Amino acid sequence: MASASALGLPLAAKPEPWSHHPHNSISIPSSSTCSYSNLSFGPGDRFRPGGRNSLKSHVREPSKVAPLSRRRPKSWEAAAAAVVAEAKVEPLKVMISGAPASGKGTQCELITDKYGLVHVSAGDLLRAEIAVGSENGKQAKEFMQKGQLVPDEIVVMMVKDRLMQPDAVEKGWLLDGYPRSLSQATALQKFNMKADLFILLEVSEEILVERVVGRRLDPVTGKIYHLKYSPPETEEIAARLTQRFDDTEEKVKLRLQTHHNNVEAVLSMYRDVTIKVNGNAPKDQVFAQIDVALSKLIEQRTATSGSLAA
């Protein structure tokens, strides 16, 4: 077959590469500037695929970009760790107080169930220390065998040691019914055992007397019943229930008077962090009041830690 030149036909011009063709380039208007990451074009520049101003010639391939961990200075790592540690929300430290039969035990269960605080009761600590035969327990037992009150110094040391245990430090704590006097509160203050919130359950004397006088103990299971509010399940249980010797109207009124005198002195140490809760209401409504205060405290701490982290 004859070639085009042999037939006298004009030879076709050799086509230019696509990127060199004037219609295959992008002109940047004189009034505009565009940028793409670290690639920018100014007025009058022309973008040609594969050319000097191509994206490929300016944008680094992902595989060639050094990982962040290799580009950070070591000091950045240390600074970040310090910020995270500082921004961590501190666990709650709560004290709850109330007269006998004010419902402290019930509210402590509800608080610990929701907030995961470590429940610490001075009375339970005292019995546990005596049972295991610790040094504090031995000293406390000597006083109790003589019919004397256990000195504040011994009980405060028990409480202090318990609040410094790893679980209480990590999760926060709920100190139940302690301190009961100004001397106890002062002693805790010396050990830097301070509360974020002091909850005082306020219940009228009439209701307290009714709750105490109707209270009964099952000596077999240790469960506490109330003849009106929480009666025994069977007649067999009802027949074996006993009443504490000091759960009489006369003696409970004396205990209430002692409580009122002491609590006023204790409040002087925690007035700035005290909330007074109406304990006359049903237990769910009482807890709702406490829940609001604890939730608000956590929100404030979270906001503060967030601002530190930023």
Active site residues: 104, 180, 215, 244, 255
Element (H, E) at 278: strand 274-278
Burial class (CB within 10 angstroms; exposed 0-12, middle 13-18, buried 19+) of 64? exposed
Tokens 């704590």 appear where? 173
d(CA 204, CA 223): 25
69, 288 Cβ separation under 8 angstroms: no
Q: CB within 8 A of 9, min separation 6: which ones?
A: none
**SS3 call for 176:** strand
Rounded to 5°, the CA angle 181-185-187 comes to: 115
Cα distances from 64 to residues 38, 54, 176, 226, in angstroms, run 15, 18, 61, 76
Q: At what angle do helices 122-132 and 152-163 cross, to 10 degrees?
A: 90
